[in-house]
Amino acid sequence: MVRDLVTSFMTLLVTINPVSNVPIFLALTGGKSGPERRRMALRACLIAAGILLFFLVIGQIVMEAVGISLNAFRLAGGVVLLSLGLRMLYGEVGGAGGAPPSGDVSVFPLATPMMAGAGSITAIVVLTDNYKFSIAEQAGTAVMLIVVMVICYLVLAAAQPIQRLIGETGTNVISRVMGIILAALAMQTLVNAMKDILPAGTIP
């Protein structure tokens, strides 16, 4: 149980990757006061948490309703997470190029797709497989999600001091380390799915 909680926490932390969102958050909230930034950070985290909890509860039900097997989703999810991990590793995630989006930036792009994006949605569905995890274990994953979202809020609320402390180089280093961890977790997801598909003993 503890191991599953740690796995859930680490997977969600590296897929959401709050530190890499700091430069984008600062760029999108330029000219805002400290209290306004904190309110936007809170709103973004609450919306992202709501989206991910929605997929935690009914994601697998919807998937099965359209005829997608869980192992197929786990394989696809592993590929998605591996792709995201490699993009993080090679520095292709986290840019805020282009014109700032119009509208409420706490909804788009902060809540989605920055925090509740393809990687984190895939992760939350895989981590709460109804056939592998009990209700208590899925509730534990939900708690880990809330913990990660609290960390996200704290990081975004302290975005300016963090940016001054670690600088662009520090942000890049952290993003790449998380990319390596996410790639490893993605490969483990693929291995676990293949173990269920192939005859017993094929994969140690």
pLDDT tens, 151-161?
A: 999 999 999 89
Distance CA 192, CA 117 (A): 23
CB count within 10 Å of CB 201 equals 7
User: Quick one: how far is CA 3 from the chain centroid?
Assistant: 19
**In the chain, what are the domain boundaries?**
2-96+105-193
Please tell me which residue, 30 or 97, carries the higher pLDDT value: 30
Q: How far apart are the first and last CA of the chain?
A: 22
Provide the token pair at 68. Answer: 């997608």
Segment 116-146, tens digit of pLDDT? 987 898 899 989 988 889 999 999 999 999 9
Contact indicator for 105, 28 with CB cutoff of 8 Å: yes
- Reduced to 3 DSSP states, what percent helix, strand and coil does the chain have, rounded to the nearest 5? 80, 0, 20
